[in-house]
Amino acid sequence: MQDFLQLSKAEAGQGVTEAAGAGYAVVSSHPLATSQAQRVLQAGGNAFDAAVAGAAMLCVALPHACGLGGDCFAMVHDSSKNEVWSLNGSGASPQALPPDLSSSQLGLGPLSCGVPGMVGGWHAIHQRFGHSTWASLIEPAARLAAEGIEVCDDLAQAFRLFDARVRRDTGLGKLFLVDEQLPVVGERLLQSPLSRSLQAIADNGPQALYQGTIGQSICQVLQAQGGSMSLDDLSTYEPIWSHPLRSKYRGLTVNVAPPNSFGLFMLLQLLALEDTDVQEQGLLSSGRLALLMRAARTSFAHGLSYVGDPSHVVSPQEALSPVAAQALREGMRSISPARSVSKSQGTATISVVDKAGHAITLIQSIFKPFGAMVADAATGVILNNRLAGFHPQSGHPNSAGPGKRPAHTLNPVMVTNGGRLKYLLGTPGGSGQTITLTHVLSALVDLKLSLRDSIAAPRWSMDLAGGLLIEPGLAEGVAAGVPAQLREQGLDVQVAVGERFFFGSAECIELADDGRRIAVADDRRDASCAAGN
C-alpha cells in the first residue's frame, strides 16, 4: 500500500496505541476502565467479569457518555462451546408514552427517555458467564466515584460544548457545577451520588435500580418534569439474548446485533461492497472512498424499514437476501440521496479476550452527550434520550409507541474465520459506527493492512444532515486531489476540521494466527489498551 506508507503520521490520520500479549487483551474508551478490567483478569476473573468491571468504571470516567441511565449491547464469545451470542441491553419506551409526540419532545427532555437497560445487561452477562462475585466488579467504580476522577479531554470538551444546557437542568447543575463553573481538563470531579447508587447496585444487584429507591427517585424526577416513565416500566425490564445477525464477507463471518441495533447497516454495506473492485483500489484513492460512501448511503436507505423493535419489524434476513443484494448493487451505481444521521459523543466501549479464549465486545451509551439533559441529583443518574431513535413518520415500523424499543446506533461486532474468532470491533460515533467499522474491516480484509494501520488511516463519515465528511489526511500530501476527484463523481465532500467526534474511535482486538491477542486503541478519543501473558 504505497499511498499509505508514504504518508507522515499527521497526514495518515490519527495516532493509535497498540498492546499485544499471549494471554489476554483489553481495549476501552478510557484508561481507568482498561486498568480495572486488567486487574480483574490478573486476579483470576474471566473476560466477562473484566468487561462488566470496566463498563462500570466507564460510567464514572465518562458520565457524559454512559451511565446508569443508559443502554448497552454486547457480542459474547463462549470459547467452551465456540458459540457467539448477542445481548440486547436496550430499553423500551414507557407504557404511558403519550401519542403524537413531536420530534423535539422525543429528541430531548423528560419524554425522550427509554427504560435504562445497561445495568440489566451487565447482570445478564455476569449471571450467564461470570466467575467473580457481582459486588467485587461494581464496588471499585463506586469507590472511585467517591474519591474523584481527573477530568479527561473528552469529558471537558462535552462540558464546553454543552455548558448552557448543563446549567439549564437543575439535576445536571447540582452534579457538575462547582462554584458555578464546570470542570476543565485535569480538575478533579467528585460524584458522590453516583457512588452511592453504584454501591447500592453492588450490594443489592440490579433490583436496586429496577425495583428500589434508585428507580423510584428517577421516575419522580421525570414525572415532575412531564415525563411518563414509571416504576412498573423499570420493574418489568428484561434484556434479550439472541443469536447474532450474520453475513459473509470475503469468506469471513461478520456477527452483529440484530435489530433494533444498527448492525444490519454494516452487513448491508459489506454486501454492497463484495461485488465491487474495492480490493483493487488504493487505501487513500477516491475510487475506494467513493465505493464506501455509495455503499453506506444505499445501505441506510435500503435497511431503514428493517431496523426497529424486533417485534415490529420484518426479519432482517430479508434485507440480506439475493434480491436485496441486487437492489443494493443497483443503488451503488447511482448517487443515493443524503439522509440525516445521528452524531453522538455519548457512547463508550470495552472489549476483552482472556487466556481461555472467552471474549466480549460491549458498548454502552446514554446517546447524545448528557443524554436527555435530565439528571436525578439524588442518585447521580443521567437519563438517556434514546427515544430520539424513533422514526418521525406515523405507521413506520420504527415509529414511536408505548413499550417499543427504538432503533439503536450501538453496534458491537465479532468476526470469525472458519469458526475461529478473529476480530472484536467496536467504536463510539452514533450512526457513524457502522461506517467506521466497515472502513476498518475493509482495510483489514481487502487491503491486507494491519489492525494498527487500518485504524490509524484517515477515514470518512457523515454530518447530521447526511453530508459527506473526510478527515484532513484525505486532502493532504499524496491524497491532495481526493476531494476534487470525489466531487467530480457527484459526491460533495467537505474536509472536517475540528470535528473528530464524527469519526468515532475504533477500539478493536485481533486474535492473531500466532496466538497473540493484539489490542489497538484509536487516539481520536481517550481510548486505551493493555495486554499480557
CA dihedral 216, 221, 225, 227 (to 10 degrees): -40
Residue 134 lies in a domain: yes
Nearest C-alpha neighbor of 146 from the set 84, 205, 191: 191
Contact 118, 186 (CB under 8 A): no
Q: Report in angstroms the alpha-carbon separations of 317 from 245, 313, 410.
A: 8, 11, 19
Average pLDDT over residues 214-238: 98
What confidence tier does 229 reach under pLDDT thresholds 50, 70, 90?
very high
Q: Which amino acid is at 214?
A: I
64 phi and psi angles, rounded to 5 deg: -75, -20
Residue 339 lies in a domain: no
Residue 3: pLDDT over 70: no
Q: Which helix (H) or strand (E) holds 127?
A: helix 118-129
pLDDT tens-digit profile of 436-475?
A: 999 999 999 999 999 999 999 999 998 877 789 999 999 9
Q: For a pLDDT cut of 70, what percent of the chain falls above it?
A: 94
Residue 341: pLDDT over 50: no
Residue 482 lies in a domain: no
Residue 259 lies in a domain: no
Structural domain count, the chain: 1
Task: Name residue, grid cell 480495572.
Answer: 36
Cell numbers found for residue 314? 420484518
Q: For the chain, how are helix, strand and coil distributed in percent, rounded to 5?
A: 40, 20, 40
Q: Report in angstroms the alpha-carbon separations of 211 from 123, 199, 200, 424.
A: 15, 15, 12, 34
Residue 170 lies in a domain: yes
How long, in residues, is the chain? Answer: 533
351 phi and psi angles, rounded to 5 deg: -130, 140
At 325 the pLDDT is 85
Strands 493-495 and 468-470: parallel
Residue 145 lies in a domain: yes
**pTM of the predicted structure, to 2 decimals:** 0.94
Residue 140 lies in a domain: yes
Cell numbers found for residue 220? 419522580
pLDDT tens-digit profile of 150-188?
A: 999 999 999 999 999 999 999 999 999 999 999 999 999
Residue range(s) defining the domain that contains residue 145: 43-241+347-389
Average pLDDT over residues 513-528: 95
pLDDT tens-digit profile of 388-397?
A: 999 999 899 9
Nearest C-alpha neighbor of 11 from the set 392, 450, 324, 471: 471
Residue 342: pLDDT over 80: no
Report DSSP state, residue 24. Answer: E
Residue 460 lies in a domain: no
